[in-house]
Amino acid sequence: MINSENLPKIFDCRFKLDDPNWGENQYKEGHIPGAIYCHLELHLSGPIKPGTTGRHPLPEIDDFTGQLKKWGLDKQSPVIIYDQGPGAFASRLWWMLRSLGFTSVSVLDGGYAKWMGEGRKVGKDIVQPQEASTAIKGDWSKLVSAKEILSNRENMVLIDARAPERFSGKVEPIDRVGGHIPGAINLPFSQNLDSMGCFKDSKGLAERFREVANKKLAIVCYCGSGVTAAHNILAMAHAGLDNVQLYPGSWSEWICDRNRPVATGD
């Protein structure tokens, strides 16, 4: 007999930054059977405080754990997460759950695009999960603040997950200021993937992050708003680097304070 409590919870995190309703509309048209839709801005982000937070601040912990209770989750629940393919939005939920102490969380490699490409089954039923009996206890872990970066940059390896043109400041389509945190290195999250849109194997990822690991310093990941940075953290976990921290406010928070230094160029 199959114990339904041991079946994985599946989450659909498809999203587009320039069209916030796109992912949920796609979910309604078809999704992996049993999947629950998870919205980046409604479920995985808190309210933006102009001049203080970045574009996707983490939600208050009680708000997020309350949502997990509604979804019927506890820290032992096996969880599988997917998005449209690259894994950037799925990685955000992966990181949040892992930060809270969840022990069995996976991102579907290749996402929905690969699922459809392999001709797998699609459902349209809107899942109504049974609420868990108790709320999850805990708080965010493996976080770094802007203040900590400013005071301790020499002991950190800062990794920026954005595209090179945004890192250099040559192009900035989203934020009011281009460039990067001084001393950061640019390792775009897209380069964690192979030509088929799947993660490179652990050997390839270990080589990609070899120089970072050899520095023997604290590793801190950031991006534009704390989303694609989680993709690098997931890739590093596959490469055997687990003690990696996130600067969740990322670039869009960093530039809220005009006194924080900004670097441009490669």
Catalytic machinery residues: 223
Contact between residue 15 and residue 111 where contact means Cβ atoms under 8 Å apart: no
Of 56, 60, 88, nearest in space to 252 by CA: 56
Burial of 242 (0-12, 13-18, 19+ CB in 10 A): exposed
Identify how many contiguous H helices and E strands the chain contains and give both numbers.
11, 8
Spatial distance between the Cα atoms of 94 and 105, rounded to a whole number of angstroms: 6
Phi/psi for 123 (5° steps) reads: -120, 165
> In whole angstroms, what is the distance from residue 229 CA to residue 143 CA?
12
Q: Which residues contact 170 (CB under 8 A, 6 or more apart)?
A: 178
Task: Decide if 264 contacts 172 (C-beta within 8 A).
Answer: no
H or E element at residue 28: helix 22-29
* CA atoms within 13 Å, Cβ hemisphere of 105: 22
